[in-house]
Amino acid sequence: MKKFLVFLFILTSCSENSNKTNGKASNVDFTTVFEKSNGLETATYQETIQYYTDLADSYGEISITEIGETDYGKPLHLVTYHPSEAPHNFDRLRKNNRIILINNGIHPGESDGIDATMMLFRDLVNGTIEAPKHTVLVTIPIYNVGGSLNRNSGTRTNQNGPKEYGFRGNARNYDLNRDFIKSDTKNTKTFAQIFHMVQPDVFIDNHVSNGADHQCTLTHLFTQHNKLGGNLGAYLHTEMMPKLEQKLAKKKWDITPYVNVFNRTPDSGFSQFMDSPRYSTGYTTLFNTLGMMIETHMLKPYKQRVEGTYELMKSMIEITEEDAEKIAESKKYQEKTWKAGDNYALTWTVDTTKSTTLKFKGYEGQMIPSELTGAQRLKYDHSKPFTKDVTYQNYFIPTSEVTIPKAYIIPQGWYNVIELLKLNNVELFRIENDTTLTVESYKIEDYQTRPSAYEGHYPHYNTKVKTTEETLLFRKGDYIIETDQKAIRYVLETLEPTAPDSFFNWNFFDTILQRKEGFSPYVWEDKAKLLLKANPKLQVEYNIKISYDEEFANNWYAQLDWIHKKSKHYEKAHLQYPIYRIK
């Protein structure tokens, strides 16, 4: 019986091998839906996953695996290409290779990358494209699974094809490209798992623009180089981006930086888009990854857009392969760029003293009276193309900075924040015994809040804090996060409350903004009089305020509340930011 089973196993193995011709399954047609439709259609979710499954079954260089969960209930898939083999041992692969992670379908209506990446992986394994020797390709075939399955042919109002496509919102109607810090969705939590497992050197997120009209099919949106900073920021700005433009020019593909204007012509100039950490490339930057979005032009034919995306990704593979050692060295030095005691920029603005001049290929446009509304509307004239020098403001300077502490302390009760830190490979350790420490403490002095909902939140902005030094008792089990670690930038951008995408600004700590105790005016007034009488300095401060602040002088409740906040009765938790800094 055992001999029969061994014979059967050998026979089955031979049968499987006989279905392959030079590594390719002879009975599988790898022509994509896009190609079969002559560039008019995009593959469905099911067709896309089946395509990669067939590729993996036919070629040993490709593997596909299910990872994690999404809000729709289906897992994400991860497809890996390596010239020799495609194991998921990324620690091993990382030693001698650079890794590119390609994300597709974050906005499923912008489907260009879904089809282009299918063809890219096929052409790498069948020899149409020369295989890189030191570059591993990894792709999430469709990131927004729920949006992909919600197909329609109307929601991309401005877009020229394909015939049908997915919807921007995910299964819970989140825009996943605003979720990378707050991580409200299962999709994002699984992305973090994938990202930290893969640890890519280069990240590409495929999109379609919704902006100005111009002649170029392709635009690039690299992460802002000053914000990326260090060796990687310099390399991105002076080498990677110019090389990409040069390679595409040789292939007769015009490309321009993302045209960041709304309802006006771009020939008067425009600035680079600032990708804060809520966006994919802003998030990947926090872990020293060279990030870029491909933004194809919405009005160009679908076939042209997909082919352009394909060529752009090919060029990025070539650059990564050519500059493998340089990228590795720059990334190694980047990890030493920030340390305790250094200043770290939290907010940025355009540097008006520097700019780049683009040879911009656009169309003449003007504001004319609208026949529909009677107001002025923008109208482009395609019969009047031009190439003009256009000012591109792609240098930024910090507007606020923070001194990097040695560590942060997070009380264990803020478990939702702690879970996200752990998810993002932040190293934490717990205090072993109740301990008294001298720390820097933040009090929230001011903030503004969006009046309408934004991605499931009412985010804060323009947050200001007052810093004091205090000696506090921390409990056994509270967490300490040292800044001497790879995740230093993620820690700073999320835990410093004035950072644009901090956990505070994303409403994680809104309970501290609400007072839990109060006073009855008729009771407190008598106590307030006694308090002022017993504290002459406080009485003087009160007299000055009531003399020079007319609004305060005319508001009896504000006066009582002001005195209450100066008393021992005022609760310490109100506006007290619960994360502390160790210098």
Residue 5 lies in a domain: no
pLDDT for 85 equals: 67
pLDDT exceeds 90 at position 1: no
Looking at the fold, whether 384 and 415 belong to one and the same domain comes out as no
pLDDT for 27 equals: 82
The total number of structural domains that make up the chain: 4
pLDDT for 14 equals: 39
Within a 10 A sphere around the Cβ of 55, how many other Cβ atoms? 25
Confidence of residue 414 (pLDDT cuts 50, 70, 90): very high
Torsion-angle region of residue 318: left (phi > 0), alpha (psi -120 to 50) or beta? alpha
CA distance 446 to 463: 6
pLDDT, tens digit (0-9, with 9 covering 90-100), for 356-412: 999 999 999 999 999 999 999 999 999 999 999 999 999 999 999 999 999 999 999
Looking at the fold, whether 392 and 419 belong to one and the same domain comes out as no
Residue 506 lies in a domain: yes
pLDDT for 87 equals: 63
Contact status, residue 112 vs residue 307, Cβ threshold 8 Å: no
Looking at the fold, whether 324 and 374 belong to one and the same domain comes out as no
Residue 51 lies in a domain: yes
Residue 23 lies in a domain: no
What is the domain extent for residue 208? Answer: 34-335
Looking at the fold, whether 440 and 382 belong to one and the same domain comes out as no
Residue 530 lies in a domain: yes
Confidence of residue 68 (pLDDT cuts 50, 70, 90): very high
pLDDT exceeds 90 at position 427: yes
Looking at the fold, whether 163 and 60 belong to one and the same domain comes out as yes
Domain boundary among the residues 289, 305, 335 is at 335
Which CATH number goes with the domain that contains 295? 3.40.630.10
Looking at the fold, whether 365 and 511 belong to one and the same domain comes out as no
In the block, tokens 């110019």 appear at 242
Residue 455 lies in a domain: yes
Q: Which two tokens stand for residue 462?
A: 């323009």
pLDDT, tens digit (0-9, with 9 covering 90-100), for 528-578: 999 999 999 999 999 999 999 999 999 999 999 999 999 999 999 999 999
pLDDT for 61 equals: 94
Residue 7: its H or E element: helix 2-18
Q: Which two tokens stand for residue 456?
A: 């499931």
Looking at the fold, whether 448 and 329 belong to one and the same domain comes out as no
Looking at the fold, whether 542 and 485 belong to one and the same domain comes out as no
pLDDT, tens digit (0-9, with 9 covering 90-100), for 478-528: 999 999 999 999 999 999 999 999 999 999 999 999 999 999 999 999 999
Looking at the fold, whether 273 and 379 belong to one and the same domain comes out as no
Where are the alpha helices (H) located in 335-454, listed in sequence order?
A: 415-423
pLDDT for 86 equals: 60
pLDDT, tens digit (0-9, with 9 covering 90-100), for 317-347: 999 999 999 999 999 999 999 999 999 999 9
Residue 8 lies in a domain: no
Residue 361 lies in a domain: yes
Looking at the fold, whether 390 and 411 belong to one and the same domain comes out as no
Mean residue pLDDT across the chain: 94
Looking at the fold, whether 361 and 251 belong to one and the same domain comes out as no
Looking at the fold, whether 529 and 543 belong to one and the same domain comes out as yes
Question: Collapsing DSSP states into helix, strand and coil, what is residue 127?
Answer: coil
